[in-house]
Amino acid sequence: MQTRSLRRRVLGSIVGVTALAVVLFAVPLAYVLAAAYHSAAVTTLQGEAARVAASVPDSLGTDGSTLTLPGVGFVKPIVFPNPMLDRGSLRFTLSQPGPLKVEIFDLTGRVIRTLVDEAEVLPGQFEYALDDLTDRGRRIPPGVYFYLVQSQEKRVTGRFLTLR
């Protein structure tokens, strides 16, 4: 009888220690790995941007040719952080000049914010501030929202989550 009770206590202790180890080590490790992945992605993008910037001429040619960014295509927009509290940013890269329109939609498909609507932009990196306001200055409720980036190259949609 005592042996069985001792086995149960030892087994219970092992299970408890294992659960504690998972909480103390595995969960923070997941956050560290996610942060390292994000940092590596940002570093890669920054390195690529520096490489491209070094290869771009200082001015457009006098022959009227258009400027394109060599070696870099359209980079899919990223909302950071996602989910965001009251502020965030939408980042992307264009490799060709042309029109650019960036809009934010709610779940019903209604345009709640137009971040940019330009007839002509030069290629490069773009970052637009996101906040929890509509074009009319009203606060948006927490939830899922969508962005639409339209350029001469692509038309890309994505989603992001706002919290409060």
**What is the model's pLDDT at position 62?**
39
Indicate the SS3 state at residue 11: helix
Indicate the SS3 state at residue 34: helix
pTM for this model (two decimals):
0.56
106 touches 145 (CB < 8 A)? yes
Distance CA 65, CA 7 (A): 81
Indicate if the pLDDT at residue 37 is higher than 70. no
- How big is the CA angle at 106 (ends 102 and 109), to the nearest 5 degrees? 85
How many CA within 13 A on the CB side of residue 15?
Answer: 6
Indicate if the pLDDT at residue 148 is higher than 90. yes
Mean residue pLDDT across the chain: 74
**What is the model's pLDDT at position 153?**
84
Indicate the SS3 state at residue 37: helix
- Mean pLDDT is lowest, of 33-37, 76-80, 97-101, 157-161, for 33-37
Domain residue spans of the chain? 1-55, 75-162
**What is the model's pLDDT at position 16?**
54
48 CB-contact burial (10 Å; exposed 0-12 / middle 13-18 / buried 19+): middle
Domain 75-162: homologous superfamily in CATH: Immunoglobulins (2.60.40.10)
Indicate if the pLDDT at residue 143 is higher than 80. yes
